[in-house]
Chain A
Amino acid sequence: MFGKKKDAGGSAVLYASKKKKFSERLRFSFSHHYELYLLALPTLIYVFIFCYIPIYGLQMAFQNFSIAKGFGESEWVGFKHFIKFFNSYQFWPTLWNTVSLSFYSLIAGFFPPIILALLLHHVKARKFGKVVQMVTYAPHFISVVVLASMLRLMLSPSSGVINTMIEFFGGEEVDFMGSANLFPHIYVWSGVWQGMGWGSIIYLSALCGISPELYEAAKMDGAGEFQRILHVDIPGLMPTIVTMLILNSGQIMNVGMQKVLLLQTPLNLETSEIISTYVYKSGILSARYSYSAAVGLFQSVVNVIMLVTVNTISRKVSENSLW
């Protein structure tokens, strides 16, 4: 998706200028393309302020930062906050909850979109396919607040439909939201429900890119529908699947914090407290800025390490990689 592409074109002017020194080329660029710099400027400034200054601000993780003193005046404390986090009783539970929730989501959520795309791609009744597409995409647009409210309403022990059904079939009432054991399942499967259709689009478009000749050839060789999926579709999807896998693994520590926060109850906190909700609570609600920044930095660093590792492995094994 982000593979390197050599510029095919380039005007004669550019070629000529390539031989010149960098400073000369720069001056040429400024004088001839100042309007382009002008157009780019607002976004670059914006990104600089809102994305790069916070990176600079991460130094607070190594300080005893106070808003009154600012970055310059605050006292440096090295890795104190990191060590405090690693030694705190929240460290292992939040780390485990984050990683397990994330892996569970990745595994449970990875195949349904692919399966849906394969089914939709070959469905003969076009109308039916269109309707299924339209309906399965819809949950993607539901806000996380609405989703969490729906879950809480439907899973409520006293009045929820699910419990009414369970009781109807002779089961016992289950307090879904109050159970630490059930929280990961609720979180993950509601995510699958919401993301399956939307996730399938990227695979559908990859399937559309497969040459019809391959299908013809497979047909001639006597392949049935199922064999076509196995021998034409799946190999055709592989690059997309690997790309998605790499991208997802770079997010391994980024569990959807909003939904977790909305589904948290005091009773399921044991499994629902993840690193980012912990950062939110200790940082924003309790104003322990330096400590929370350190916890957040730890999380980002793990993400980057994961991304680089998976990308390297993938480049060696399958030649698919982001860079």
Chain B
Amino acid sequence: MAREKRLKFRRSRGDLIYSVVTYIILGFLFLITLYPLYFVVIASFSDPALVNSGQIVLLPKGLDFRGYERIFELDRVWHGYLMSIYYTLFGTLFNLFLTFTIAYVLTRKDFMARNFFMKFLMLTMFFGGGLIPTFILVQDLGLYDTPLTLIIYGGVSVYNVIVTKSTLENTIPYEMYEAAAIDGCGQIKFFVQFVLPLSKAIIAVMALFYAVGHWNDFMNALIYTNSEELQPLQLVLRNILIEGEMLANENLDPDLALLRQQQAELMKYGLIVVASIPLLVAYPFIQKFFTQGIMIGSVKG
């Protein structure tokens, strides 16, 4: 005990400097990551004049909820919200189906075509047809500008298949299948009755990975759809925030023009918050799952 203490003491100066530096760097990274997010939130309900003149730093000032009031009146934002939920829900289900069936098949060591299937999938990680041939294909299939495109496009990520496969290999012992086979259980039945119920954690992780991908996507919507009523939230946001469509299209009443001008910035901050709310709310709960997902992939892959 005493010796240990002395050792600790002897080393402590270099280590102390090290710890202090560690905390300073980590603290800095913490602040620099958090502050922009925090700023958007407080700026979204502060007086826009104060925001523009740089007087909002730590706390919101001159509370002003008109930005949010305006956002609530915007039908296209809410319609986009609904479309995003729709694409995310069905898209994720489709993803899970494609990912787990193939991942299970790839875990079966006695399956002859296993390596061939694996290579067939992995080749697509390194080479593909690219944007234009895919665009032509989507048109030829008659999927262009249909809601189905955004559900099935990007149906399976090979990286996720590999992660799922390694996880299944570790959670479902091969002996279990053999035992079930002796009892006359077929492979599909085994998959549905044993593999899936035992893989709830990895299903959750994959569902979250895919769902975030669908929720945040705007590019596929931009490329593969044309009608306004098919636009998911992110594309609506992009049109309002980046292309500045709002000011031109939304309001024709000249009396309100000045007010609109003021509120435009306020609304932009508000829209960012509204679009991120589902993730902001869910994030603390799901963060653990995400971390697990990536860990599994990196350790066992």
Contacts and interface: CB of A to CB of B under 8 A. Distances in A.
Contacts of B235: 145
Given A2-B301, A55-B133, A122-B22, A145 B241 contact: yes
Contact of B132 (A1, A26, A293): A293
B120 interface: yes
Question: Main SS of chain A's interface residues?
Answer: helix
Interface in A23-44: 25-26, 28-29, 33, 35-40, 42-44
A33 B272 CA distance: 51
A152 interface: yes
Interface stretch (B59-67, B68-76, B106-114, B250-258): B106-114
B295 A201 contact: yes
A119 interface: yes
A137 B289 CA distance: 12
Interface in B17-67: 18-19, 22-23, 25-26, 29-30, 32-34, 36-37, 39-40, 51-54
Nearest to A53: B137
Contacts of B11: 222, 224
Interface in A84-112: none
Contacts of B162: 2
Interface string B114-155: 000100111010111111111111010100000000001101
Nearest to A22: B112
Given A54-B128, A55-B133, A283-B132, A11 B110 contact: yes
Contacts of A197: 33
A37 B106 CA distance: 11
B82 interface: no
Contacts of A191: none
A120 B291 CA distance: 14
A177 to B, nearest CB: 11
B222 to A, nearest CB: 9
B130 A29 contact: no
A72 B59 CA distance: 65
A184 B156 CA distance: 32
A17 B170 CA distance: 27
B237 A149 contact: yes
A268 to B, nearest CB: 14
A296 B283 CA distance: 36
A204 to B, nearest CB: 8
Interface stretch (B85-93, B183-191, B199-207): B183-191
Contacts, number: 280
B291 to A, nearest CB: 6
Nearest to B192: A39
A164 B54 contact: yes
B294 A296 contact: no
Interface residues of chain B: helix, strand, loop or mixed (majority)? helix
Interface string A226-265: 1000000000000010000000001000000110011000
A83 B152 CA distance: 36
Interface in B218-234: 218-219, 223, 234
Contact of A146 (B128, B275, B301): B275
B238 A262 contact: yes
A146 B235 CA distance: 11
A293 B130 contact: yes
Contact of B137 (A14, A50, A165, A303): A50
A153 interface: yes
A60 B98 CA distance: 29
B137 A54 contact: yes
A225 B15 contact: yes
B298 A1 contact: yes
A71 B11 CA distance: 73
A51 B294 CA distance: 25
A171 interface: no
Given A197-B33, A209-B299, A296-B130, 18 more contacts: A11-B178, A33-B111, A36-B108, A43-B121, A46-B156, A55-B133, A142-B276, A144-B218, A148-B242, A149-B272, A159-B52, A224-B18, A240-B298, A262-B238, A283-B131, A293-B133, A299-B130, A303-B126
In order of increasing CB-CB distance, the 9 nearest A-B pairs are A54-B129, A164-B54, A57-B133, A143-B216, A296-B130, A54-B133, A43-B102, A35-B187, A29-B112
6 contacts: A38-B188, A134-B284, A149-B268, A222-B11, A279-B131, A284-B132
